[in-house]
Structure 1
Amino acid sequence: MTDIRTTAEAHEETALPRARVTQTSDDAPKTAELQPLPPQLLREPPEGKSPAQWAYERLLLYIQNFEEQLQDDEEVVLGLTGGEAGVLQIEGIGFFDPDILTFYGVDEYGARTQLIQHVGQLNVMLIAQPKAPEDETPRRIGFRLARALGEDAAKTQDEA
């Protein structure tokens, strides 16, 4: 059966970013590529975003999706790739247009850590690690970031 779409729907489809994933198991957890994009990400077309903003927004989706699959006694940390820097427990993420992402947090020794990364060099490994025993509940940065993204979108819409 042929799917009939309006011209507006066809035009909308070409503006939406494309994503795909292939996994070895049919019952693998849903990945960020398979999740619908939040409405706040669709308010501004990707071509209107800087590489830093677009990388930041999609990274938020990956972190939030990863955290949804963690146990109550786990937290997400960022594995620093391409060097011997170790891991960074994410406490914040930012971007500086047009092409810089910044990760804020602490390393495995508790030292305050900041990673400044060009989007062209972006390599991120998300790792589940046991939460600190003194913390009652695990910290979930992905949901805070998603909330901030919604607030940013609302602010942008108010300014328009």
Structure 2
Amino acid sequence: MDGKISTSAEAHEDDALPRRHEVHADPQARAVTDVPAEVTAKPVKQKSPAEWAYERLILYIQNFEQQLDNEHEVAMGFAGGDAGVLRIEGMGYFDPDIVTFYGSDENGTKTQLIQHVSQLGVILRALPKQPAQEAPSRIGFRLAQDLNKS
């Protein structure tokens, strides 16, 4: 016990499960509202800001990839400057507050973005898959498998 006295409303709020809600103009758009058990198994207040951001980014990447055809894969654009896009090939976090993305840019140059969670702003984009690949790379599936292990 931490010695803090909470009202019943605060206690209820602390015990609330994470929620997800989306509405789209297109009635056919995939609006995801479920939060997988792997994400809710550990209470949010026991997660670092980096871990919590990482888990939610995985859900958004997975949802984005499910909307892509076999000719495209997920990448992220950078806000501001001429940094371009990063084809997402890996993702991780460093407690308590850093999220990192690994990948390559449009020219195939190895790229890594290290971002503090307070500055996190990700634009998911669809890029044509690499010409040498038969099938597009789906990082969201591998990230979710790793989430299931932890």
Q: TM-score, normalised by structure 2?
A: 0.87
SS for the counterpart of 1:23 is coil
Partner of 1:17: 18
Partner of 1:66: 64
C-alpha distance in structure 2 between counterparts of 1:21 and 1:14, whole Å = 22
Long gaps (5+) in structure 1: 1-10, 153-160
Long gaps (5+) in structure 2: 1-11
C-alpha distance in structure 2 between counterparts of 1:83 and 1:76, whole Å = 21
Which portions of structure 1, spanning 4 or more consecutive aligned residues, are displaced by more than 6 angstroms?
none
Partner of 2:132: 134
SS for the counterpart of 2:28 is coil
Instruction: Evaluate the alpha carbon distance shift between residue 13 and residue 30 of structure 1 in structure 2; reply closer, same or farther with a 3 A threshold.
Output: farther
Q: TM-score, normalised by structure 1?
A: 0.81
Report if the CA contact (8 A) 2:23-2:31 is conserved: no
SS for the counterpart of 1:75 is strand
Per-residue CA deviations over 1:38-58 (Å, capped at 9, x if unaligned) read 111111011110110000000
C-alpha distance in structure 2 between counterparts of 1:37 and 1:83, whole Å = 34
C-alpha distance in structure 2 between counterparts of 1:16 and 1:40, whole Å = 12
Match runs of 1:1-160 below 5 Å: 14-31=15-32, 34=33, 36-152=34-150
Task: Please state how far the C-alpha of 1:83 moved relative to its aligned partner.
Answer: 2.5
C-alpha distance in structure 2 between counterparts of 1:22 and 1:28, whole Å = 9
Partner of 2:7: none
Task: Please state how far the C-alpha of 1:144 moved relative to its aligned partner.
Answer: 0.1
Partner of 1:4: none
Identity in percent: 56
C-alpha distance in structure 1 between counterparts of 2:14 and 2:26, whole Å = 28
Task: Please state how far the C-alpha of 1:14 moved relative to its aligned partner.
Answer: 4.7
C-alpha distance in structure 2 between counterparts of 1:27 and 1:65, whole Å = 14
Instruction: Evaluate the alpha carbon distance shift between residue 112 and residue 98 of structure 1 in structure 2; reply closer, same or farther with a 3 A threshold.
Output: same
The structure whose residues are more often helix, as a share, is 1
